[in-house]
A and B are shown apart, each in its own frame.
Chain A
Amino acid sequence: MAIVQTRALTKLFRQGQVGAVVNVDLESREGEFLVLLGPSGSGKTTLLRMIAGLEEPTSGEIFIGGIVVNDLTPRQRRIAMVFQSYALYPHLTVLGNIEFPLKARRMPKPQRREKVQWAADLLGIGQLLARKPRELSGGERQRVALARAIVREPSLFLLDEPLSNLDAKLRASAREELEQFQKRIGTTTIYVTHDQVEAMAMGDRIVVMNYGSVRQIGTPAEVYDDPADTFVATFLGSPPMNLIELPDAIVGFRPEHLHVPGALRPGEPALLVRFRPSHEEYLGAERILYGRLEGGSFDGKKAVARMSSTLAERFTPDAAYDFAIAEKDVKFFDREKGTRTSRRPVA
């Protein structure tokens, strides 16, 4: 097992242009499931490809297991990568695909077969060994790609959006399986995704990226509950955090924290507001209310509230109701830079 470290890692695709990856300092932990999360174009895949050795950094250093690997080829880095498209070799059978990395290491045939069997059994694809990739379903292809990655027991796993080609139903089960699988083999894993649900569900820690730089690194709870800036606050969570611009600061609170007063713990210090919902979305398990706040410095600002469908209260559109936000759930951001600032009183 190995840890990955990057120091001031930068990639400019054209000299003098905006960087795809800018000054990234990262350090994974032993056996960790580290998720790189960001919108498309945020540089997460480029970062992963630099770690894999498929892209040359413009500056900065990459360490794997304590050794600088900048000048090593992907082959010498002894890592395994699963591509978004799975990149299975179309002319080889499943057996040939899984066996390929072992052949590349010149492992003798009997051992090779044993290893392939082990990997195939681990992923439950033993019965598919004679098939060609085009004869497999999306889920089966993903398993073959994973089997090909684990078969040589790499010290590091790199996964580039491996679930994005699966349909929604399959994705949820594959996500859970992949997570269990990683825990079982315990290999340090770096996982790229733009899907915040995947990141929250699977990651031990999440690296949130935007425009090539790291905005925050933390556990799912940390990045969700304590976002470092307005980007992280709005990128995670659906609907995103409510951000209210005041003259001296931006105030943020999550839709699920905009409660009816009775839902708060008695004695909890809270901010009381008037909320006038304009319409409601019923999503089965929950309800989402869209509307505007009234009174004080919040007057006229848009906000979203989210509550369980089991909640008894009913709201008529365009009538005003009392709502409350627990003080601990209110976050403050700098107006200029969008970064978190200390709390202050709100009128």
Chain B
Amino acid sequence: MSGARQRWLGPAMFLPAILYVLALVAVPFLLAFLYSLGDVKVGSQGYHFVGLRNFQSVLQSPTFLRALSNSFVFTVSSQVLVLIGATLLALVLKDAFRGRRAIRFLILLSWVAPVSIGSIGWKWILDSLYSVINWVLIQLHLVKEFSPPMWLGEPRLAMISVILVHTWHMLPFATVIILAGWTAIPKDIPEAAEVDGAGFFRRMFQIEIPMMLPIINVAVLFGVVFTFTDMTVIYILTRGGPYDTTQVVPSLAFFTGVLGGDLAEGAAISIFLVPLLVVAAWLMLRSAHRAEVT
């Protein structure tokens, strides 16, 4: 190959990737920065620099503070549930048994199905009139027929509902990661622990889980980043309601900036995610690196 061709081939090969990242990540990101420092609204003609005024107003808005705290509640609770659930599922699925493949497939199904379709299904399951859950509860005489729980209409229940649905959606991915971590542990090591006299729980909490920790960290951080920036479940199930009790930062940014037309304030709201995500990404890279070393 000639020198000139060699010089151009490499850059030409990775140019598409760079363009892709520039067009779909860097440009919108810079645009959001610019918007958040200006007075842009949908349909406005010019751009006036207003400094940090948007951030000031966002910080003073009780809705934003509420959304921020909801974001933390939503992310932390769903990730704790995902972690516990995925570990239990992985524990069941790691040993061979009849029908394991079928069960693995079924569990993965909720990850493979588009989240919007899944969420619409849940919207029906949790509907105030047609809820199958309520129907079952009424048949079992656990709730009164004419005042069943309004899963998406009562503040506390609505939050619990969106957390559970999101957990349902995130569970398979975390299960697969933890399962991979578990199967990567050489068989000798838990066996040695067994011969050394360790019971089931000691083996699990002092040997197997600590050995998987770098991988679990990656799973959790992925989940955190994904949950913190996602609004699909909330948008479909509650639209942030009732009374903003399930509003999170991404959904608020969307409602304010896109549906409300206040691009500048919407941008300012979403910029608040940046420092949190930078920290999460840094931790993620660090533990991924450590997972490689051991």
Residue numbers of A with Cβ under 8 A of B are 52-54, 73-75, 78-81, 83-85, 87, 89-91, 100-101, 103-105, 134, 148, 152
Contact = CB atoms under 8 A, between A and B. Distances in A.
Given A83-B188, A87-B186, A91-B211, A52 B195 contact: yes
Nearest to A134: B294
Nearest to B190: A87
Given A85-B186, A87-B189, 11 more contacts: A74-B195, A75-B194, A75-B195, A80-B195, A84-B188, A87-B192, A89-B207, A100-B196, A101-B196, A103-B206, A152-B197
Contacts of B277: none
Contact of A85 (B188, B197, B198, B202): B188
B145 interface: no
Interface string B276-292: 00000000000000000
Contacts of A81: 192, 195
Interface of B: 186, 188-189, 191-199, 202, 206-207, 210-211, 213, 294
B192 to A, nearest CB: 4
A54 B186 contact: no
Dominant secondary structure of chain B at its interface with chain A: helix
B195 A79 contact: yes
A52 B188 CA distance: 13
A89 B294 CA distance: 11
Contacts, number: 62
A101 B211 contact: no
Contact of A89 (B193, B194, B197, B199): B193
A75 B198 contact: yes
- A-B pairs, top 4 by smallest CB distance, nearest first, are A87-B188, A87-B192, A104-B197, A101-B196
A104 B199 contact: yes
Nearest to A81: B195
Contacts of A87: 186, 188-189, 191-192
Contacts of B294: 90-91, 134
B186 A148 contact: no
Contacts of B207: 89
B196 A148 contact: yes
A91 B210 contact: yes
B184 to A, nearest CB: 12
B294 to A, nearest CB: 6
